[in-house]
Structure 1
Amino acid sequence: MWPVIILVALVAVNIAATGIDFIVPSVHDGRLGGAFVNILRRSAPLLLISLGMTLVIATKGIDLSVGAVYAIGAAIACQMIIDAPDQTSAGLVAAAVALALAVTAVIGAWNGVMVARFGIQPIVATLILMIAGRGIAQLVTGGQIPKVQDASPFTGIGRGSLWTIPIPIWIAVLTLVALALLTRRTALGMLLESVGGNPEASRLAGIRAKGITVLVYLVCGLCAGLAGLIGAANLGSADANNGGLWIELDAILAVVIGGTALLGGRFFLLGTTIGVVIIGTLEDTIINVGLSSQWQFTAKAIVVFAVALLQSPEFRAWVLKPFKRRPAAPAPAPAEEVLAK
C-alpha cells in the first residue's frame, strides 16, 4: 500500500508541474509515447534486473554483479554483430542474442555455485564478478565501443514497437508475468520462501536448497543479460565501462521499496515493479519541479527512507501513539461496598 501511495504522490506532483499530459499517452508514428510511457520504457532494463534480484534476495542472497553482467551481455551481442559482414541479417541477430543470453545465464549460475556449493558469502561471491566483469566485457570488445548499424534488426529490440507499445515494455511485462506464474502458480515460490527463511531446515525437510539457490542466480544473470541487450539496442552500442553502471544499487532500492525483506523469506514481484516505477518517476520529477540533476541520489535516499519508515509497524505505532484513546479508569466502588469488604 505505501509504495502505491508514494507513486501516486509523485504522479500528482508531476501533473501539477507539467499538466495532465504527463499521464496521458499519445501515439506518434504508430508508436505509443508520452512522459509516463517513456518512463516505463526507460525503466524496462531496471525492472528486469530487479525481478531477478528479488528472487535472489528471497533466498537471503544478494547479487552485486548484475551491472557487470549487463555490460558483458551487451558487449557479446554487439561485437558479434559488427564482426559479421552483414549486420542486417535476422539470423545473425538471433544468434548474437542467444549467445549473449546463454553466457550471462552461465555467469549467473556460476555465482549460484559459488554461494550454494562452495559456501562463499553472496556479497563476496558476486563482488568478485562485479570487479572482474567489466574487464571481461572490455576483453570482448577489445577496449572499444562497438557500434551497430541503425539498419540492423538488433536496434529494434530497444527502439521498436509492437501494436504501438514499445518492445522493451513488452519484454519486461512478459518476464514479470512469466516469473509471477512460475513462483505463484507452482510450488517454486513456496520453496524459495522456505529456503530464504531457513535454508538448513529446508534441507532437512527434503528441499534441494542448493539447487534452488543456483537456479535463482541463473535467472538473475539471465535477466541482467536481457537488460543489457535492451540497453545496447536502444543506444546502438555497448559501453563496457558505463553500461549498466551502478544499476545493481537501483535494483536493490526497488526491491526494498517493494517490501521484500533483505533477510530473505517473503518476496513481492509486484511490489518490486512499483518500486522500479517510483525510481523512474522520481528521476523525471526532479527535473519537472526545477531541481538540478545533482538532487537525484539525495531524492532517492529520501524516498527510500520515507517508504522504509512507513512500512515499519513500530514507526507507525510510535507516530499514532499520542492519538490512541487510553482506556477509561474504572469507576471507584461505592463507600458502602468498600466498608463491607
Structure 2
Amino acid sequence: MKNLVLSMLAMASISVLSSCSSENDVIDEVTGGDQDKVEIKLNTGVGVITTKADAVTDLKDQNITILRQDGSSTPSDWTTYSGANYTVGNDGSITLNSEQKYYDNSSTPKNSYFIGIYPQVSTAPTSGNTITFTNEIGDHDILCSQVYDAGSKISQTDATTNNMKFDHMLSQVKIQLEATTSAATAFGKVKKIIIKNMPKALDLSLKDKTITANATPENTNMTVYDNASGENIGTATIPDKFLIPGLGKLDATDLQIIIVTDNYNTDESKTITISGIKTLVNSAETYGTLAGYKHTIKITFNDNISISTEVNSIQTGGEGSGNVEN
C-alpha cells in the first residue's frame, strides 16, 4: 500500500483580542426608581487570527452570543444567566439590550460577568453549562471568550482598556501532498481526501472552556477535498479544516485519512492512521491536536505500495516527517 510521510507544524494562533472604542469614555447614568442605574459598557475586538480558514480576522460586524451572570465572585458554574444575540459594532463595541444593559442595582451590588460565543447560537440559551453545535463539518472555528468581569455599579471595569478575550476552541488541520515523479505517475491525480468518522455534534463547556464530541453519536466522513477532474498531487489546493482537539494521540486511531487518486479508487484506497502528533507547549510534550494550534500533515507518495508511518517530535516552527511507500 501507500507509504505516507507525515509532518506536523504546530503554530500558536493568536487568541488574545484587543481593540478600543470611543464609545466607552463616559459611563451613562439614568434615573430609575430611588437609585440611579448605571449602564454596562462592553467592548470586544480581535487581532489577526491565523487559524481562521473562513478568512474572518476579527469580530467586528460579526454575530455573537453573550451570556451574563451576576454574583459576588467569578462563577465556577454557568447555570442560570441571561442570554442574548448581538452584532458587534464596527469599532468592536457591543450595545447591550435592556435585559443585560444595567448593573445590579441593589444596596450591595453584585458584579456582572459575561461570556461571549462565536458563531452565534440561533436561540440564545438562558441556562446550562453546555452549548451544543450541530452539523459541524470543519468549515469554521468556534470561539469562546474568557470570563469577563464588568465590575459593579460602584466599581465599573473600563471597557476601553479591558476587552473580552476570545480563545479558539478547535484545532486547525492542514493537509499537504507531495510525490516523487514516478509516484505521481503511478498514483495519478488526486481526486478526493476524506477524514473518517468525525463528530458533527460538538459540546462547548462553559465551565471548562473546552469542546468535545457530543455524547450522542452523529459522525460523518468529512470531505476535505473533492475534485472530479483531479489535480496533480504536488499542486492540489486543499482547504484547511477545523477539528476537535485531542485527535492523533499516541497509538490512537481517531484521526484517519482516505485519499482517492486516478489509479487508486475508493475500493483500493486504504485508511491512513495518523498518530503520535506531539507538540512542545511550555517545555512540556502534549500529544494530539491542540485547540488554537495549526497542525500540518504532510503526506508523501513514494514508489512502493506498502504503508509505514513515522512522526517526529513537533515543536512550534518544527517539522517531522515519515514515508508512505508503494
TM-score by length of 2: 0.26
The higher relative CO (CA closer than 8 Å, separation ≥ 6) is in: 1
Report which of the two has the higher share of helix. Answer: 1
Of Structure 1 and Structure 2, which has the larger fraction of its residues in strand?
A: 2
